[in-house]
Amino acid sequence: MQMSSAKSAPKAPKNQKCVVLISGGVTSYLLLDACAKKYGTVVPVFVLSGFRWEEAELFWLKKFLRYRKQENIEPLQFVYLPLKDVYLMHWSNTGMKTPSGKEQYQSIMLPERESLLLTRAALTAIAFDAEVMAVGYLKPRGEAERNADLMSRVEELYSKTLSKPVSITAPFITRTRDEIVYDMREIGFDYSFSCLAPRGYQHCGDCYKCHERKMGFFKTGITDRTHYFKPLPSLAAASST
């Protein structure tokens, strides 16, 4: 979905600035690495919404950025999108009934979050004078995930309302989580973090994201060196269901 200003010819990728919407997960780290190879300047952006996992996620993200420091990767930037008043008594605020690995992926989806996140981040890309914004969307797991459609709608909105629209790209939109885990092996997993209910800065070992992480390692045959607060049970049995 590459859109450019009608007033000038698009720049070559190596001359473009790209804002990367980043978290502490494996997909975000691989996305940042891919964008750093493709674009001249890369700006990692973390969106702060007040969710209970953000402090731990930032702890590991900052470690990763120090570890993968590159000349064309600019310092981490923060965008504020408070959502506590939107979700109120939702598990993402309270920590009660946090989705476990036994539940379906729909259980971790936060209503309307993606549309708010993408719209806010696109404004940030424009503020940084970036031609491109990269997001780590993966192959949809079902009808509930319509990220490609959402990207098109946000691009269309800004192309009609702003003099300098931003192009939104999702280079992994046709790829699965297992494929991303496998490709990440060259970069390493030591500083990645994906947990909905962290114990301090440690993975809880019981939530949906911890289960998803463990299964990604199991299915790709990569040794999982993550320190989980609670060990995950019977992965072989879980993978056959």
pTM above 0.75, yes or no: yes
Distances in whole angstroms, Cα of residue 80 to Cα of each of 34, 96, 117, 119, 121: 25, 24, 10, 12, 10
What structural domains and CATH numbers belong to the chain? 14-194 (3.40.50.620)
- In the sheet that holds 77-80, the strands lie side by side as 77-80, 41-48, 17-21, 132-134, 167-169
What is the per-residue pLDDT for 11? 66
Six-digit token string for 24: 């502490």
Cα distance between residue 22 and residue 58, in whole Å: 10
- Tokens 């700006």 belong to residue: 43
The pLDDT of residue 159 is 77
What is the spatial distance between Cα 59 and Cα 201, in angstroms, rounded to a whole number? 7
Give the residue among 229, 228, 230, 222 at the shortest CA–CA distance from 189: 222
Average pLDDT of each block of 10 consecutive residues along the chain (241 residues)? Answer: 42 86 96 96 96 95 93 95 84 84 78 84 90 92 75 83 82 94 93 95 94 93 92 55 45
List C-alpha distances in Å: 200 to 24, 195, 207.
15, 11, 15
DSSP class of residue 115?
H
Distance (Å) of CA 53 to CA 76, 96, 198, 209, 223: 18, 13, 6, 11, 24
CA distance 75 to 210: 28
Return d(Cα 181, Cα 190) in angstroms, integer.
13
| 139 touches 175 (CB < 8 A) | yes
- Amino acid at position 6, single letter: A
Structure tokens at 23: 């978290």
In Å, how far are 50, 52, 111, 159, 234 from 144, measured between CA atoms? 24, 24, 10, 26, 28
